[in-house]
């Protein structure tokens, strides 16, 4: 059997589990989109787009330590650090790179890692690369403090559940030699003073923040923010930084403009949270259970994978795009529709989503 035969057999196995994925091109121009993480609607903001248009070159030219030393990256890092109340920040080419780059380095400073059971795959992959043992603690609980230093890894607002951890309680329970890595990807821009997230008020050198530029800031890239010595170590030891091509300067400038707008976007945040609450009220009105929503993500659990795919397809046929989330993105038996609410959704669009969900629910009962 050649390797292509084995590839075909593996694909057949994925199809048999109903977990096959492809990359269809979806034309969303005439569809109400509830899939995007552009929570504040900044990706198409004219000032952000214009900043990118002003770029004089497309690529960065190489890794940051070689040809990619661009002033815009350094300026953005300083502004991110100041926003989050940290000494320094370091830009990576994505949030995924930040996770798989930083976690293995931080792990070398401790004896073990403790990870929330429902952490994002990027955090899990970073932990798998770490040279220390790791333990999984129950979702959104407080891990028991040990006698040896531990790296505690948790999202603040969880990307698939939409609920929040308690960073302050996690820090209070941590030992003096522990380090806490908080993934604020789905919190930054959305919650906290100036949208600075849930960890902003934790003025403690044990706290390290992982963030992204590609969600509420509407740009691209990821970063780590924390004590200056931590950033200095990552510059020297994080392979996903050292050996990766730097983020283009034009993207960094666009992200700087988006960050400035985000910090002043209290009205957008208010609209976003009002939209989330309107959706939750609508879901309750049609008899759906409504999980907690700390940020912009509202999951609609359906359990069965095929049922979830059918519901997503039915909504798309009716002009509303809500993606179906299934294993391995979530644990088996917990497939769901993942609704991403944005500040620029209108009340009519929110109500239309509820209406179509009710219609899909009625059709499912009729066909049962």
The whole-number pLDDT of residue 367 equals 57
Residues 217 and 272 in one domain: no
106 lies in some domain = yes
- What Rg, from alpha-carbon coordinates, does the chain have? 21
Q: What is the CATH number of the domain that holds 38?
A: 3.90.1150.10
| Domain membership flag for residue 109 | yes
What pLDDT is attached to residue 365? Answer: 52
How many domains does the chain divide into?
Answer: 2
Could you give phi then psi for residue 101, rounded to 5 degrees? Answer: -85, -45
Residue ending a domain, among 263, 296, 331, is 263
Q: Quick check: is 18 in a domain? A: no
> Exposed, middle or buried by CB within 10 Å (0-12, 13-18, 19+), for 328?
exposed
Q: Judge if 206 and 275 occupy the same domain.
A: no
Per-residue DSSP letters for 66-111? TT---HHHHHHHHHHHHHHT-SEEEEESSHHHHHHHHHHHHHTTSS
Please say which residue of 238, 263, 288 terminates a domain: 263
Q: Do residues 8 and 315 touch, judged by C-beta distance below 8 A?
A: no
Q: Are residues 81 and 33 in the same domain?
A: no
Structural domain containing residue 216 = 46-263
Q: Is 204 contained in some domain?
A: yes
CA distances from 94 to 77, 89, 154, 206, 222 (A): 14, 14, 18, 23, 4
List, in order, residues 6 or more apart from 368 with CB less than 8 Å away: none
User: Of 225, 244, 263, which residue is a domain's last?
Assistant: 263
Residue 180 in contact with residue 206, Cβ under 8 Å?
yes
Evaluate whether residue 342 is within a structural domain.
yes
Q: Which CATH number characterizes residue 193's domain?
A: 3.40.640.10
Task: Specify the pairing of strand 88-92 against strand 134-137.
Answer: unpaired
- Tell me, yes or no, whether 231 and 253 share the same domain: yes
My answer on whether 297 and 196 are in the same domain is: no
In a shared domain, residues 331 and 303:
yes
Specify the pTM. Answer: 0.95
Report if residue 212 sits inside a domain: yes
Residue 363's pLDDT is what? 72
Average pLDDT by consecutive 10-residue portion of the chain (368 residues)? Answer: 93 91 78 96 96 87 90 97 98 98 98 97 98 96 92 97 96 96 98 97 97 97 98 98 96 97 98 97 92 91 91 94 94 94 98 95 63
H/E element holding 88?
strand 88-92
> Are residues 179 and 210 in contact, defined by beta-carbon separation less than 8 angstroms?
no
- State residue 350's pLDDT score: 98
Query: Are residues 72 and 217 located together in one domain of the fold?
Result: yes
> Does a structural domain hold residue 269?
yes
Within this chain, do residues 348 and 210 fall inside the same structural domain, yes or no?
no
The per-residue pLDDT for 264 is: 97
Measured between alpha carbons, how far is 127 from 115 in angstroms, rounded to an integer? 8
| CA dist., res. 40 & res. 342, Å (int) | 6
Residues 206 and 151 in one domain: yes
Domain shared by 68 and 194, yes or no: yes
Residue 4 included in any domain:
no
């Amino acid at each position: 059997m050649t390797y292509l035969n084995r590839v075909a057999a593996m694909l057949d196995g994925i199809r048999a589990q109903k977990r096959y994925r492809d990359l269809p091109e979806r034309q969303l121009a005439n569809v109400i989109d509830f899939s995007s993480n552009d929570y504040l609607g900044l990706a198409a903001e004219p000032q952000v787009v214009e900043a990118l248009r002003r770029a004089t070159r497309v690529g960065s030219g190489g890794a940051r330590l070689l040809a990619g030393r661009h002033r815009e990256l350094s300026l953005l890092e300083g502004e991110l650090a100041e926003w989050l109340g940290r000494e320094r920040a370091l830009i990576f080419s994505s949030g995924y790179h930040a996770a798989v780059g930083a976690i293995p380095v931080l792990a070398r400073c401790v004896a073990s890692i403790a990870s929330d059971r429902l952490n994002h795959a990027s955090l899990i992959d970073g932990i798998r690369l770490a040279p220390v043992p790791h333990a999984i603690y129950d979702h959104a609980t407080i891990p028991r403090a040990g006698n040896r230093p531990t790296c505690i890894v948790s999202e603040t607002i969880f990307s698939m559940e939409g609920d929040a951890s308690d960073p302050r309680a996690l820090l209070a329970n941590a030992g003096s030699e522990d380090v806490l890595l908080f993934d604020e990807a789905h919190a930054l821009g959305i919650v906290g003073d100036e949208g600075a997230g849930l960890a902003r008020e934790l003025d403690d050198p044990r706290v390290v923040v992982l963030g992204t530029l590609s969600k509420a800031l509407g740009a691209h890239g990821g970063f780590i923010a924390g004590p200056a010595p931590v950033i200095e170590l990552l510059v020297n030891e994080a392979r996903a930084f050292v050996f990766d091509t730097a983020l283009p300067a034009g993207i960094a400038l666009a992200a700087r403009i988006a960050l400035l707008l985000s910090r002043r976007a209290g009205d957008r945040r208010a609209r976003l949270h009002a939209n989330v609450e309107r959706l939750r009220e609508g879901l309750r009105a049609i008899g759906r259970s409504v999980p907690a929503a700390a940020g912009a993500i509202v999951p609609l659990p359906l359990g069965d994978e095929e049922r979830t795919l059918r519901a997503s397809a039915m909504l798309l046929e009716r002009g509303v795009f809500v993606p179906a989330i299934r294993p391995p993105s979530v644990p088996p038996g917990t497939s769901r529709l993942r609704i991403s609410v944005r500040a620029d959704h209108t009340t009519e669009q929110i109500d239309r989503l509820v209406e179509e969900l009710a219609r899909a629910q009625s059709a499912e009962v009729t066909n049962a």
